[in-house]
Structure 1
């Protein structure tokens, strides 16, 4: 999955908006004004020095976060995020697209589950109809 495919998939999530609160280099994806993903070229939109892979931060269950880091070398603790709750996924082609989509889905749902019941219902209703 490349950054354009990731962006497109992130925007398919119900009530998702793209915002740039940290500058035009860092895409921030929010549901009901709550961040569930970021997407930038390397470290905070500056590249990583050697390569120009895109980095995506995704919220994650703490136990699963560690497991994913053990399985995939391109999943690292969340860059500039709470490292227990966020992973950075380096989009270097080494992770199957379906797995990245699953991680995106989980991040989205983790954020939605922290919302009020009313907000949850309006979002989950859209998911049920997909």
Structure 2
């Protein structure tokens, strides 16, 4: 997966916005103003930071050399994933979905309802 495919997939999800809150090279994706993915656009190969369940984070890091502790992020809740390389696109999409869903799950029930995630 290249960075454009990553960007397109993130933006295809409900209520996602993109911004550059830190600098002009760190692209951040948010769902309802909560960050779920970011990438340094000058990194080659492309790497992204994705939120992850702490137990799953450990498993992924042990299983894949291209998934490491989140760079400049909480090492417990974030992974840095090399998206240009050995990982299959569908698997990267699953990791993006997991990150997105964790953020949505962390919202209040009222927010989830207002945004149409629950009825």
2-structure distance, mates of 1:87, 1:123: 28
Matched, 1:106 2:80: no
Q: Tell me the CA shift for residue 78 of structure 1.
A: 0.2
RMSD (Å), alpha carbons: 1.2
- Paired residues in the alignment total 117
In structure 1, the residue matched to 2:15 is 15
Q: Which runs of 4+ in 1 moved over 2 A?
A: none
In structure 1, the residue matched to 2:110 is 118
User: What stretches of structure 2 of length at least 5 have no aligned partner?
Assistant: none
Matched, 1:68 2:60: yes
Distance 1:65 1:123, change over 3 A: farther
TM-score (norm 2): 0.92
Question: Quick one: which of 42, 47, 50 aligns to 1:55?
Answer: 47
Contact kept, 8 Å, 1:15 with 1:123, in 2: the verdict is no
1-structure distance, mates of 2:93, 2:22: 24
In structure 1, the residue matched to 2:84 is 92
Contact kept, 8 Å, 1:2 with 1:93, in 2: the verdict is no
TM-score (norm 1): 0.85
Distance 1:84 1:124, change over 3 A: same
Contact kept, 8 Å, 2:83 with 2:92, in 1: the verdict is no
